[in-house]
Homo-oligomer: A and B are copies of this chain.
Amino acid sequence: MQTLKSLKNIKSSYIREILHVANSPDIISLAGGLPCLNAFPMRVIEKSLLDIVENKQYFQYGETRGHEPLIEQLRLKYAVDSSQGILITSGAQQAIDLCTRAFIERGSNIIVESPSYLGALQAFDLAGANVLSVEQECDGPNIGELELLFKRGDITFFYAVPDFHNPTGCCWSLAKRQKVAELCVEYNVLFIEDAPYRELRFLGEELPTVTSFCADHSIILYSYSKIIAPSIRVGAVIFPMRYLGDLYKLKQVMDLHTSVPMQEIVNQVLRDNSYATNLSRIRNLYYERYLALKNELVEIETIKDDFSEVQGGMFIWLKLNGVCARVLTSTID
């Protein structure tokens, strides 16, 4: 028995494949968004694990939509009102897959930024989406190009990472956030806002989410991989309430529910008094690393104009003019 032909077209993620190399202690990896080990709030994680082990109920089957104390906490954190639902996912990658399975069938037209997050493209390809792309400018998508695509009238959703984009580091301006939201409402296109890096701002002022301007036309995906720890695999998805029933059924099919002990870690870290202090510590940590890399790059005459400065997150985008990145990597090997 053969696996489906559609699987043959999916590329495995190169970034995931080199993880065992990237994780080696003698490597400084610039390849993927691996958080710094010193960023993890280990003291609160330890405290929460000690609490968890005292409560056998945390090891029983949990509810599909998520661990109730965490959901309550997220309602406060993101000011979620009764018109929106929350579902806890096993990382934001599962949230991307969940949205894909809820809306995309073979041939559905969707829009992504160019370039876009590899893990999302894999999910869209697997579902057989027809992936259209919009140019990413330094302050967000090219609006004229986006509106032309929206005018086709057959777009299922527009997936984007407006805060400290993976892989470019781009952060959308306020004006583009508002304009994209306006267009999504006008053309009735769903916006999928992927926000894993949003809290990692180290320069400039925090901007509102695109979702805050078009909540009824938007689904926002949060991740706790970058602000707590990735291996706990906890994310959250917030959506217009009308989608609750279908997303709930999909989550049942996908894994019944997300690990309750891991959800309780997130709950405790978010509630802890140290949360704000720790977040500012993490931001400083990434700011220092960003400065170190930037200061090295500007010293190199041939590439100093080929990258853009960023205000947060884990990525900068360096153009290698006329050089293939994969060949360069092999050469360094």
Contacts from A to B (Cβ < 8 Å): 1, 3-4, 6-8, 10-13, 16, 19-20, 23, 32, 34-35, 37, 40, 42, 45-46, 49-50, 52-53, 56-64, 89-91, 93-94, 97, 101-105, 119, 122-123, 126, 156-157, 188-190, 217, 225, 229-233, 243, 245-246, 248-250, 252-262
Contacts and interface: CB of A to CB of B under 8 A. Distances in A.
B12 A245 contact: yes
A105 B7 CA distance: 11
Given A1-B103, A3-B103, A53-B49, A59 B254 contact: no
Nearest to A90: B255
A10 B255 CA distance: 15
Given A59-B231, A61-B34, A4 B105 contact: yes
29 contacts: A1-B103, A1-B156, A1-B217, A11-B249, A12-B249, A13-B252, A16-B256, A19-B61, A20-B63, A23-B57, A23-B61, A37-B60, A40-B56, A42-B59, A46-B53, A58-B231, A60-B230, A91-B256, A93-B253, A94-B254, A97-B254, A97-B255, A122-B252, A231-B259, A233-B255, A233-B257, A233-B259, A255-B255, A259-B262
A61 B36 CA distance: 11
A245 B257 CA distance: 26
